[in-house]
Amino acid sequence: MFDKVLVANRGEVALRIIRACREMGIESVAVHSTIDADAMHVRLADASVCIGPPPASESYLNKVAILAAAEISGAQAIHPGYGFLAENADFAQMVGEHGFVFIGPDPEHIRLMGDKIAAKAAVRRLGLPVVPGTDGPITHEVMARDAAEAIGYPVLIKAVAGGGGRGMVVAADEPALLEGLRLARREAEAGFGDDRVYLEKYLDRPRHIELQILADHHGHCIHLGERDCSVQRRHQKVIEEAPSTVLDEAMRAKLGKRVTDGLVRLGYRNAGTVEFLYQDGELYFIEMNTRLQVEHPVTEMITGIDLVRAQIEIAAGEPLGLAQTDVRFDGHAIECRINAEDAKTLLPTPGRVQAYHAPAGPGVRVDSALYAGAGVPPYYDSLIGKLIVHDRSRADCLNRLRRALGEYVIAGLPTSIPLLQAIIREPAFVEGDYHIDWLAGFLRGWQTGN
């Protein structure tokens, strides 16, 4: 096992990794920008290294500075957290070339899954269901027309280099397709420097369901069930839960078997999340995320498995200590993301926390780097905490969530807590009857006060 791990991140996820290290008897090294000198992750780590000025491009995304920090601190491995360099294949490769262990998948797998069309083709070859669409990029208009005809309208034009939903255009008919192709290409070129696009059947109002997996270096892969992340706005998830209200035990087991068998054949290692769209009883692969995810705690709450600890053990070459039959799903968990943003306008509200009191009590977990007096800089993501609750049933879980949200005190800057309180009271949410566009509709009423 490693003696010392460098945490290439900030905020709540840096704390999450530092905590796992401490429990495993591993020393942790924090890195920070100048504006984060007093941040909680710097205080909780065993050592810290300043890696640059506030803009992320010069600090948390500065590969050379991070490698230098690993070198001077004597770390053997680097955990990237999520965001920043977590899915940067070049960084993962550099980490290995400099003699450190990257706590995550191999660079080849990060690279494969970063190319959305190559990922889809690879996953289809492994026997997983994918959304009907073209096998490769669109090369000319005639091809697009014939493909769209075969798929059936409406179709969705997606950028090969896309992901996170950027650069997608829906086309309802042939004229819209030809116009949409030009628009999508322009956006893809501007956004990713790659104008290749492909077509898929457009799914109207699907749910976003993702499967958590763990794979070791000894040919074992297990799944830890799904998370439903459909409550989102502009590709930012707001509330996540496990299990999903639309999967039963048989569907979960069948999906899990297909995914884990496929990933063993692919030689995938470490933690990963396989994303699906669910509609009318069918699941379709869309993407794979080759990192720890923000919403991983809901999975930890219902399985009792420490995902960060597992990531570190796997990276150190240890075999998974669990077989699929050891994984038990217990009760229900819901996570609310707390953002430093105005609950009505949803605009970021950086500032300083004047007073802070986090909810606690039975079945309540708070992952946050906030403290009274903490600064929330304008340079980074507005996520300031995550409230995760666990209880026997979904109804009990919702009740506990209402109770816990009501305990929160974050004074000094506006937060999204009032919005979260409103969402969890909505009948559709209470019923579990939502889809990926549901929150947008709710927000139209919420923002205009209706």
Residues that bind ligand MV4 (CB under 6 A): 131, 156, 164-165, 200-203, 206, 208, 232, 235, 277, 286-287, 436
Token pair in block for residue 65: 């500075």
* Minimum distance, C-beta of residue 45 to ligand MV4, in the bound complex (Å): 33
User: Nearest Cα to 310, choosing from 223, 376, 226?
Assistant: 223
Say if CB 311 and CB 289 are below 8 A apart.
no
In whole angstroms, give the CA distance from residue 111 to residue 78.
18
Q: Check the CA dihedral 150-151-156-157 and report its sign.
A: negative
Identity of residue 119? A
Looking at 106-161, which runs of residues are DSSP E strands? 155-159
* Minimum distance, C-beta of residue 360 to ligand MV4, in the bound complex (Å): 31
Please, is 243 exposed, middle or buried when counting C-beta atoms within 10 Å of its C-beta (0-12, 13-18, 19+)? buried
Say if CB 355 and CB 371 are below 8 A apart.
no
Residue 22 is among the residues annotated as catalytic for this protein: no
130 DSSP β-pair partners: 285
Residue 318: DSSP 8-state: P
Looking at beta carbons only, is 10 or 296 nearer to ligand MV4?
296
Looking at 254-331, which runs of residues are DSSP E strands? 270-279, 282-289
* Minimum distance, C-beta of residue 344 to ligand MV4, in the bound complex (Å): 22
In whole angstroms, give the CA distance from residue 409 to residue 358.
6
Looking at beta carbons only, is 208 or 332 nearer to ligand MV4?
208
Looking at beta carbons only, is 116 or 390 nearer to ligand MV4?
116
In whole angstroms, give the CA distance from residue 358 to residue 80.
26
* Minimum distance, C-beta of residue 135 to ligand MV4, in the bound complex (Å): 15
Looking at beta carbons only, is 64 or 280 nearer to ligand MV4?
280
Say if CB 148 and CB 177 are below 8 A apart.
yes
* Minimum distance, C-beta of residue 166 to ligand MV4, in the bound complex (Å): 8
Looking at beta carbons only, is 203 or 389 nearer to ligand MV4?
203
Token pair in block for residue 339: 């953002």
Say if CB 414 and CB 343 are below 8 A apart.
yes
Among 207, 291, 365, 394, the active-site one is 291
* Minimum distance, C-beta of residue 155 to ligand MV4, in the bound complex (Å): 8
Looking at beta carbons only, is 70 or 439 nearer to ligand MV4?
439
Residue nearest to ligand MV4 (CB): 165
Residues designated as active site: 291
